Chain A
Amino acid sequence: MGTLLLAAIALAGAPAASVVYIVAAELALGRLAVRPRRALRPWVWLAPALAFVAVFLVYPTLDTVVLSVRDATGAAWIGLANYAFALGSRDALIALRNTVIWLVLFTGLVVGGGLGIAALAERVRYDAAVRGIVFLPMALSFTAAGVIWKFVYEFRPAGAPQIGLLNAVLGAAVPGFEPRAWLVGPPWNTLLLIAAGVWTWVGFATVVFAAALKAVPAEIAEAARVDGAGEWRVFRQITLPLLGPTTGAVATAMVITALKVFDVVYVMTSGNFDTDVLATRMYHALFVDQHLGRAAALAVILLAATVPVMAVNLRRLRREAAAR
């Protein structure tokens, strides 16, 4: 019981403390002249968040950048050798290629699928049930999701009873189908891993899009319908533009999820059979090879890959600010 008491105190106490902090700081700001007040205010609101990310993300990242030009144990400076390793072998190129495939397919399917499901579900009365079903996988741990999809893709040699859903369904539907060991050979294995990833994440996109769709005023669409616009045109010309910011946000989150994708691959193939991605290679470098430098170089490459994503987001931000 002590456990829950402690948690309850933290649950109530920490947010309360943060509210007290904001109110007190605002009171103090109120005593200042207008100009210093305007200059200081944003920092008051940002400070707690900045403090947390500084300790838990920025500091470890700087540590990582320094390690990326050092040797296995972080002892000596070795220039860009780790980057050469991270980019320069057959294995590295396969991991890069797979990460790009993940970026394109995973992001596209999750954003498109989430938007489509949310938009269609809005038109039926059982929308809550649909959202609940596609959300189910989010509630599963990665281990459980891994168990599920290993089942689906399971292979037994021809002649033995299949226990994997995919081989069983294809065997029943396609005459003369020979069961396949899906996960042990490219290109199917990476595509099927992406399918499992999409299955897990579409619920995220659907729930966010559903929230955004509720914010689209019904009158605008209704007015267009009265003018004789079809459902598809209403969606494309009215709803979709209004969802722009949400789509951008979900796409950004998914691009980064795809870049970092680790659990699905690690649980199901561990990067074997040419399914490696950047994050599984980094994990391997960090914990198997115990080469801090190489792991750090791979992490820095991951970070660098987000630069274009940031640029797009910044442009959007500026446009928004200008429009206001």
Chain B
Amino acid sequence: MRVLRRAPVHLVLWLVGAAWLAPVVGLLVSSLRPAPDVAASGWWTVLRHPAFTLANYRDVLTAQGLGVGFLNSMAIAAPATAIPLLIAAYAAYAFAWMAFPGRGALFALMVMLLAVPLQTTLVPVLRLLTAAGLTGTFPALWLAHTGYGLPLAVFLLRNFIGGLPPDVLDSAAIDGAGAAQTFFRVVLPLSRPAVASLAIFQFLWVWNDLLVALSYLGGRPSVAPLTVTIAGLVSSLGSGWHLLTAAAFVSMALPLAVFFSLQPYFVRGLVAGAVKD
């Protein structure tokens, strides 16, 4: 009975899973096929005529600067994730639990800044970075990604922190904890699921960013992230695009590992925190 009643749930989830996986599987299969085959027949035909090659992966993995690009991407993405999240959490805490004049207006401004198109900021920001002598360095990207990532982080964290049970915070205050103690001992641990999900998104955006890196880093191969190295695999006439299929999986590996290692936090975070009290 129970299994039968649950059947539609399973069916929907399996259909969603298939619809979401099919394009990725297509990409994966294509990345393992010889380039001429990809343009000649559908990827599903490999079931009947299997013809695989690792040449695409070999070309990507031996591409000049790939190793350096990988390290650079990590060096850019890790601080550019940690810094904005912590700063956003401070601001979110203030927006959620402190009364001050102009709170609504300031928060509205944050929401509005979400909509600033990145492209319009490139020139003014590059001018500032040039004046500060930061172009072509990692700090330029750390600072810029912090600025760009803050509005969404503040917005989502304020919603989460604002939804924490007031009595938990009150009891901390009654115990004589100051604002700093309440934040670091109670608010931040309770916000783990939200911080973890935001962390993975911020990390992904920075990891996959090409435009900001191209604009602020200039052409120095020594600081180029993975996205720049991978873009260089394709010629100006589009030949070599098949390498992008293999490159996509190479560049996905680390973010997915981060996601799956953080996933328990989405699940356990709040529950564990509540139980501890």
Contact = CB atoms under 8 A, between A and B. Distances in A.
B86 interface: yes
A317 B30 CA distance: 49
B268 to A, nearest CB: 8
Contacts, number: 317
Interface string A1-18: 001101100110011001
A322 interface: no
Contact of A46 (B99, B106, B123, B256): B106
Most buried by A among B13, B43, B162: B13
Interface string A143-186: 11001110110000000011111001000000000000000000
Given A53-B147, A282-B120, A137 B24 contact: yes
B27 A147 contact: yes
Given A7-B79, A10-B142, A260-B117, A121 B13 contact: yes
Interface residues of B, number: 119
B135 interface: no
Interface string B250-277: 0110011001100100110111000000
A20 B210 CA distance: 33
A65 B74 CA distance: 35
B41 interface: yes
B215 to A, nearest CB: 11
Nearest to B253: A139
A229 interface: no
Contacts of A239: none
B24 to A, nearest CB: 6
A128 to B, nearest CB: 6
A7 B72 CA distance: 9
Contacts of A52: 84, 87, 143, 146-147, 150
A136 interface: yes
B79 A22 contact: no
B90 A49 contact: yes
Interface string B219-230: 000000001001
B20 A133 contact: yes
B100 A39 contact: yes
B208 A142 contact: yes
Query: How many A residues are at the interface, by size bracket?
Result: 35 or more
A123 interface: yes
A148 B252 CA distance: 14
A252 interface: yes
B16 A134 contact: yes
A41 B150 contact: no
A208 interface: yes
B115 A305 contact: yes
B107 interface: yes
A22 B150 CA distance: 18
B78 A324 contact: no
A137 B208 contact: no
The 3 closest A-B pairs by CB, nearest first: A56-B147, A7-B75, A144-B248
Interface of A: 3-4, 6-7, 10-11, 14-15, 18-19, 22-23, 26, 30, 39, 41-43, 45-46, 48-50, 52-53, 55-61, 63-64, 116-117, 120-121, 123-124, 126, 128-144, 147-149, 151-152, 161-165, 168, 199, 202, 204, 207-208, 210-211, 214-215, 245-246, 248-249, 252-253, 256, 259-260, 262, 279, 282-283, 286-287, 295-296, 299, 302-303, 305-307, 309-310, 313-314, 317-318, 320, 324
Given A134-B20, A305-B115, 20 more contacts: A3-B68, A4-B74, A46-B95, A48-B87, A52-B84, A53-B147, A120-B12, A121-B13, A131-B263, A144-B251, A149-B23, A152-B26, A161-B40, A211-B266, A215-B270, A262-B119, A279-B117, A299-B120, A309-B111, A313-B108
24 contacts: A10-B142, A18-B90, A26-B178, A52-B143, A133-B17, A134-B20, A138-B201, A140-B208, A140-B248, A141-B208, A163-B38, A164-B42, A165-B23, A210-B267, A215-B270, A252-B155, A286-B119, A299-B117, A305-B115, A310-B111, A313-B107, A313-B108, A314-B104, A314-B107
